[in-house]
Structure 1
Amino acid sequence: MKAPARTPPPRTMKRHGLELRARLRYLYHGASPLAVRFRLTVVVIDFAIIAFFIAAPLLKEQGRSFYIIDYAIAALLAADLVARIAAYSDWKDWFKRPINWIDIVVLATLLFPAWALNFGFLRILRLWTLLNSDLFWRTVGHRFDNTKVEAVTRALAALVTFIFVATGFVYTSFRGGHPGLVGYIDALYFTVATLTTTGFGDVTLPGPWGRLLSIAIMLVGITLFLRLGQTLFRPHKVTYPCEDCGLTKHDPDAVHCKACGNILCIPDHGADH
């Protein structure tokens, strides 16, 4: 008679758990080539998932196959969230960061697609959380020695995210409310036309709530466009911590810290070329 399988002792299970957490911390926060390649893979998969989110309103007609992909993505994002929590030094502190709660909301819309159908447009927020995450900038952003690329990327992410969130809201809330507002492309066309204050008038939202939403899209859109313009034309700065006061942002040719006057020695990366 075959002996029953023995349950590993608690100490062994705890040791395996600590080893797994150490491995995840190494992959998500390490600086080795293997860790960087792992995070690059995560970023590429994230962009593929975001592309699916953008195309989702056009793919829902596929029926069962759409929901299979939907749940597969939910499993991937759930595994990623659990791994990030395990890799974080203090999981309680992880839950205190609002950007992480946005990822949880995105996951909820994937786990319950039938119940959260009208909130599916919130999934595109994954683009904003990705381009504002430490993981992305530790993996990709370290290639740049100035803050202009980061500022432009963040501003562009905010603008693109707002466009698709607004489009999704218009599509789910006002579809069929105007003869010209039938499909997702119509909602996207209305959002861009309103956001840029072009206002052709061929597609409009009915009622006072539609007018209020149009006003909100115009105001927020103009603000995000101005922010993007400012980051494009503002002189860029480099990241170099001052030894005395800790100020990290300085002009590329700065000799003294603007905050405390300490002498700086900012490396001239352009001199190598």
Structure 2
Amino acid sequence: MKRKDRKLGTTKNSLRGRVCFWFDDLETPMGKSVDITVIILIFAALFLYALQTYNFEKNTLEMLQTAELVIGVIFLVEYLLRLWSSENRIRYFTSIYSVIDLIAVLPVFITFGNLQFLRIFRVFRVFRLLRFLERKEFFFGTVTETSLIGLRIVFTVASIVYLSSAFIYLVEKDGNPGITNFTDAVYYSTVTLSTVGFGDITPKTQSGRLITIGMITAGLIFVPLQIGRLFHEMIVSSGKNRIVCKKCGLTYHEKDAIHCRHCGETIYQETDGE
């Protein structure tokens, strides 16, 4: 099974072909291991960024920064391997996933004083998970279209909360006693996005207010859009049989279908005889 942003441009017997295959594969142990490792490292990097907002001792903070740097190096190597093994490197370099990878990885290595503000873009690592949500096939098996849309809704909400919290913390930490760490920022973002709005924490800066507006706007646009797709899929699938095409994995088919409407493969359905 292959992803949309890459193609296997060389034979699997060559080193380049094997690397490309492992990045795209979801069936062999190596392909699954690559997926699992990348996902774990993404979550670890997001967690490490949040931990660095707390008042730990200097040695602890240095350890966290070192761990994040190591993960950043691994991500950079992964990016270079993906680029090297791609059939069309220019196309891959200009793809949305490549841009996300660069934006998420490069800020880790920025140490110059005038450019350190760019390190905040490390939080965009959360978008690296999009690559794994474009298909119904995962390392643990295949999910239905309804389940996939549900996962995308969870990802959308979590991404909005995480990104908003990171930016709110960045602009409010110095002048807002209510936001002193990432937990405070997540609390504020969650109650604001859910429209509960307790009012115990409010943004003190103009930037904080603009970020809040952006967060609410994103929630109002993207979440209902995904929920609408979920209800549409539930309605459509309710009138079909849950027959999985062995060739392409399409799950639901019309009750009188003989062939898969996606790939044309013959499917077999039990029918009631007279």
* Fold similarity call, TM over 0.5: yes
Cα separation, partners in 2 of 1:184 and 1:50, compared to 1, 3 Å = closer
Aligned residues: 244
Deviations 1:35-78, CA, capped at 9 Å, x for gaps:
33343333333333333334342377533222221221121111
User: Following superposition of structure 1 onto structure 2, how do residues 141-156 of structure 1 map, counting pairs within 5 Å?
Assistant: 143-144=141-142, 146-156=144-154
C-alpha spacing 1:47/1:212, structure 2 compared with 1 (3 Å): closer
Report the TM-score, using the length of structure 1 for normalisation. Answer: 0.71
Using the TM superposition, name which of 156-165 and 209-218 deviates more: 209-218
CA contact (8 A) 2:171 2:205 kept: no
The one-letter code matched in structure 2 to 1:132 is R
8 Å Cα contact 1:151-1:231 kept in structure 2 = yes
Indicate the residue corresponding to 2:69 in structure 1: 71
Cα deviation for residue 135 of structure 1 reads: 9.0
- Who is 1:27 aligned against? 22
Within 5 Å, give how 1:1-273 maps onto structure 2: 19-30=14-25, 31-58=27-54, 62-112=60-110, 115=113, 117-133=116-132, 138-140=137-139, 143-144=141-142, 146-206=144-204, 208-236=206-234, 251-253=252-254, 255=256
Letter paired with 1:130 = L
DSSP 3-state at the match of 2:54: helix
Preserved contact between residue 52 and residue 61 of structure 2 (Cα < 8 Å): no
Greater shift in the superposed pair: 80-89 or 216-225:
216-225
Deviation at 1:205, TM superposition (A): 1.4
Let me know the Cα RMSD of the aligned residues: 3.8
Cα separation, 2, equivalents of 1:48 and 1:103:
16
Shift of 1:97: 0.8
In the superposition, relative to structure 1, how do residues 211 and 29 fare at CA in structure 2: closer, same or farther (>3 Å)?
Answer: closer
Q: CA contact under 8 A between 2:171 and 2:207: conserved in structure 1?
A: no
SS for the counterpart of 1:180 is: coil
> Which residue identity lines up with residue 173 of structure 1 in the other structure?
V
Q: 1:136: how far off?
A: 7.8
In 2 relative to 1, CA 40–190 (structure 1 residues): closer, same or farther, beyond 3 Å? closer
Asked whether the equivalents of residues 196 and 222 of structure 1 are also in contact (C-alpha less than 8 Å), the reply is no
Q: 1:225 to 1:35 in 2, by over 3 A?
A: closer
Instruction: After the TM superposition, list the runs of 4 or more consecutive aligned residues in structure 1 that deviate by more than 6 angstroms.
Output: 238-241
What CA distance in whole angstroms lies between the structure 2 residues aligned with 1:254 and 1:264?
16
Structure 2 alignment gaps of length 5 or more:
1-12
C-alpha distance in 2, partners of 1:77/1:253? 43
Structure 2 counterpart of 1:22, one-letter code? G
TM-score norm. by structure 2 comes to 0.71
5+ residue gaps in structure 1? 1-17, 242-247
Q: More helix by proportion, 1 or 2? A: 1
Task: Tell me how far apart the structure 2 counterparts of residues 214 and 134 of structure 1 sit (CA, whole Å).
Answer: 27
Is this contact kept in 2: 1:124–1:165, CA < 8 A?
yes
- The alpha-carbon deviation at position 29 of structure 1 amounts to 2.8
**Larger Cα-atom Rg:** 1
1:192 is displaced (CA, Å) by 1.3
Q: How many percent identity over aligned positions?
A: 18
1:25 alignment partner AA: C
Compared with structure 1, are the counterparts of its residues 59 and 110 closer, same or farther at alpha carbon in structure 2 (3 Å cutoff)? farther
Tell me the CA shift for residue 215 of structure 1: 2.5
CA offset at residue 149 of structure 1? 1.9
1:203-225 per-residue CA deviation (whole Å, 9 max, x = no partner) reads: 11135544333222222223343
